Amino acid sequence: MITLLEARGICKRFGGLTALSDVSLTIRKGEVYGLIGPNGAGKTTFFNVLTGAYVPEEGELVFNGSELPLGKPHKVVEAGIARTFQNIRLFRDMTALENVMAGHHIRSRANPFSILLQTKHAKEEERLITERAFELLKYVGIERFADTVSKNLSYGDQRRLEIARALATEPQLLALDEPAAGMNATETARLRDLVQTIRHDGVTVLLIEHDVKLVMGLCDRLAVLDFGKKIAEDVPAEVQRNDAVIAAYLGGHAAQKGAAA
Amino acid sequence: MNELALAIPWLGKRNPAAARWVVVALAVGAPLIAMLFGKSWVRILDFAMLYVMLAIGLNLVVGFAGLLDLGYIAFYAVGAYTFAFLASPHFELHLPFWLVLPLGAAFAALAGIILGLPTLRLRGDYLAIVTLGFGEIVRIFMNNLNHPINITNGPQGINMIDPLVLFGWDISKPLKVGDEITINSLFLYYYVFLACVVLSVILVQRLQVSRVGRAWAAIRDDELAAKAIGINTRNMKLLAFSLGATFGGVAGGLFAAFQGFVSPESFSLMESIAVLTMIVFGGMGNLAGVIVGALALTALPEVLRHVAVPLQQAVFGQVLLDPEVLRMLLLSLAMIFMMLLRPAGLIPAYSRYSRPELVVGKEAGR
């Protein structure tokens, strides 16, 4: 399989705290890749490094064969990586449709002059953006709320809208930061279906999740972080049997030492 | 325009078409109505139009992009002084307005970028303080650049600025139609300013419903999320600052030509705050609200001047409260009540950044 993203030796420190130390992992094209670990393991930090919110002290990211610029979020999106947030971050005062349309920003070209003059090209692009945004709302199943101001949507629909907005940037890799957090069983099941549809349509998915059942059922492969280090990377069945992982989740250091000895 | 029409109480929602005509009729007929109360009211109306332009420009920065700018009047000053330098006896230059006005706008845009660059990382109160300082710096420069080389003529200001001359037609002189009717230049200025306002509204609306307007709204609502969907926040903020400043620059140039005189005291901090108050009062981010706010708050002090003094004389036999004092008092009271009763402004209708009817109009009447 073709490698889509390769992280090599990523280190990220905050003062004296090492949030990520020498993390390397490989995401293949077309898979659902899970990133799990106990609280504070560095999952979200990795996410933020990947999407350009943080600049790592060491290491590099190779995406689609070329090096990813570090610390430049808009370049990362342009390269084809989109993300959602652990605590939903929508544009509160815009409608659902407008949120998704805003997501098309990076893939549209109209400049202020063509907008002020309303050139044919600018008008056509605007119409296309509207149309595509509608399609994406349908894709995630909330098209009937197109005209609703996003802060008035229900929690689950806000999550879906955030995914639609991320998809609007036409990513090759969609990075979801705990998409099932706070969802009930039905909503989680629907989310699972949505992620599978997205993968089926050719977008690689990186999933950070606490819901172990969801991760195990959904991911092709997964990596486990603990205290900023990668302790395992394998298919779910293998990871479940991994002693270091069990120790990290259940027993802490004593158990880990015992397992190692 | 539609938003403005819809905002008319009672009529707006029942009959939008009629309401629209009411707006047009009011805009065109306003100086005639004002004339009934005296020429000075037409003059006030002219100034009101300039304030509307300023409010529209500032709304672009504060209302759309969410960048609190307390020094906006600096761009007005840049536009006005550019006009004064290039079209007055001060430097013996008399360039035509179609050259001077765009130049003023361009310099204002440049000033916008100069202000924008160092403030890119600032938000909220921090940004407000820096912009406030910027506004004061510009004014103090204007005040002191008469020594050692006289550039701005200091606090005396620049006099005898050329009036607007449209294709050889001097609009500061009354227009004679036939033998009977003469149209006062105040009217002519009003219609020129009105044309500028209408053009500004059209341009700003186009920006609002576009990828640029949505990017600004995104930055305003959540800057981190805006970055995460690939918006280059640096460029978009600079664009907001410079485009907003452009409107201020044009308004400033028109002001210089209309007044024939500029001096630093026209560009004090109070003016910046006055324009910001208009926006907050009318409804931030909403074009109709901003226009109504600007009109209402330009008219208020003048009404006070004409009503308060005679009223006090009639009741107390003397003037106890100066209209200027009353103005600040009533303005603050108005703001306090506004914040309590209608925190989103006079016309809090939410702004649109898309036109879904482009696609779904026929398919489903959603």
pLDDT of residue B365: 41
**Do B155 and B68 belong to one domain?**
yes
Reported confidence tier of residue B364, pLDDT bands at 50, 70, 90: very low
* Locus of tokens 């302790």: A231
> Does A148 reside within a domain?
yes
Q: Which of B236, B253, B269 is the last residue of a domain?
A: B269
Q: Do A165 and B229 touch (CB under 8 A)?
A: yes
Asked if A90 is an interface residue toward chain B (Cβ–Cβ < 8 A), one would say: yes
> Does B216 reside within a domain?
yes
With 90 as the cut, is the pLDDT of residue B246 above it? yes
**Do B245 and B151 belong to one domain?**
yes
**Do B63 and B108 belong to one domain?**
yes
pLDDT of residue B358: 75
| Cβ-nearest to A110 among B210, B350, B359 | B210
How far apart, in whole angstroms, are the C-alpha atoms of residue A229 and residue A242? 15
Q: Do A93 and B217 touch (CB under 8 A)?
A: yes
> Does B182 reside within a domain?
yes
Q: Quickly list DSSP for B164-194.
A: -EETTEETTSPEEETTTEEE-HHHHHHHHHH
> Does B290 reside within a domain?
no
**Do B158 and B259 belong to one domain?**
yes
Closest CA to A222 of A205, A246, A200: A205
Tokens read off for A126: 């605007």
Reported confidence tier of residue B1, pLDDT bands at 50, 70, 90: low
pLDDT of residue B170: 81
Q: Residue A85: its chain B contacts at CB < 8 A?
A: 224-225, 228
Mutate to test the interface with A, among B202, B203, B207, B211 (most CBs of A within 10 A): B211
Ramachandran angles phi, psi of B83, nearest 5°: -60, -45
Q: What is the pLDDT of residues A88-141, one digit of tens each?
A: 999 998 999 999 999 999 999 889 999 999 999 999 999 999 999 999 999 999
Tell me the residue ranges of DSSP E strands in chain B.
Answer: 87-88, 93-94, 165-166, 169-170, 175-177, 181-183
If contacts are CB pairs under 8 Å, which of residues 132-161 in chain A contact chain B? 133-134, 146-147, 149
pLDDT of residue A134: 94
Residue A222's beta-bridge partner residues? Answer: A34, A234
**Do B26 and B153 belong to one domain?**
no
Q: Do A3 and A27 meet the contact criterion of CB atoms below 8 Å apart?
A: yes
Most confident stretch, A207-221, B168-182, B251-265, B317-331: B251-265
Q: Do A146 and B366 touch (CB under 8 A)?
A: yes
Q: Give the residue numbers in B contacting A (CB under 8 Å), as ranges.
A: 203, 206-207, 209-212, 214-215, 217-218, 220-222, 224-233, 239, 243, 350, 352-356, 358-360, 366
Counting one residue from A and one from B, how many pairs have CB atoms under 8 Å apart?
131
> Does B109 reside within a domain?
yes
Q: What is the pLDDT of residues B63-110, one digit of tens each?
A: 999 999 999 999 999 999 999 999 999 898 989 888 999 999 999 999
Q: Do A102 and B229 touch (CB under 8 A)?
A: yes
Minimal-distance CA residue of chain A relative to B353: A98
> Does A135 reside within a domain?
yes
Q: Do A101 and B358 touch (CB under 8 A)?
A: no
**Do B65 and B146 belong to one domain?**
yes
Q: Do B224 and A130 touch (CB under 8 A)?
A: no
Instruction: Name the average pLDDT for chain B.
Output: 88
Reported confidence tier of residue B220, pLDDT bands at 50, 70, 90: very high
> Does B288 reside within a domain?
no
**Do B70 and B160 belong to one domain?**
yes
> Does B141 reside within a domain?
yes
Domain holding B115, by residue range, is 41-269
Asked if A106 is an interface residue toward chain B (Cβ–Cβ < 8 A), one would say: yes
pLDDT of residue B221: 92
**Do B77 and B131 belong to one domain?**
yes
> Does A19 reside within a domain?
no
Q: Do A74 and B230 touch (CB under 8 A)?
A: yes
Q: What is the pLDDT of residues A18-71, one digit of tens each?
A: 999 999 999 999 999 999 988 888 898 999 999 998 999 999 999 998 999 888
B/e letters for B142-169, b = 16+ CB within 10 Å, e = fewer, are bbebeeeeeebbbeebbeebbbbbeeee
Q: Residue A106: its chain B contacts at CB < 8 A?
A: 229-231
Domain holding A110, by residue range, is 93-156
Minimal-distance CA residue of chain A relative to B233: A74
**Do B27 and B46 belong to one domain?**
no
Q: Do A94 and B217 touch (CB under 8 A)?
A: yes
> Does B309 reside within a domain?
no
Asked if A88 is an interface residue toward chain B (Cβ–Cβ < 8 A), one would say: no
> Does A236 reside within a domain?
no
Tokens read off for B117: 């660059």
Shortest Cα distance, chain B CAs vs residue A157, angstroms: 17
**Do B113 and B252 belong to one domain?**
yes
Closest CA to A173 of A219, A200, A205, A136: A205
The total domain count for chain A is 1
With 80 as the cut, is the pLDDT of residue A76 above it? yes
Mutate to test the interface with A, among B354, B355, B363 (most CBs of A within 10 A): B354
The total domain count for chain B is 2
> Does B291 reside within a domain?
no
User: Does B265 or B315 have the greater pLDDT score?
Assistant: B265
**Do B219 and B235 belong to one domain?**
yes
Which of these ranges, B29-43, B204-218, B305-319, has the smallest mean pLDDT?
B305-319
**Do B167 and B227 belong to one domain?**
yes
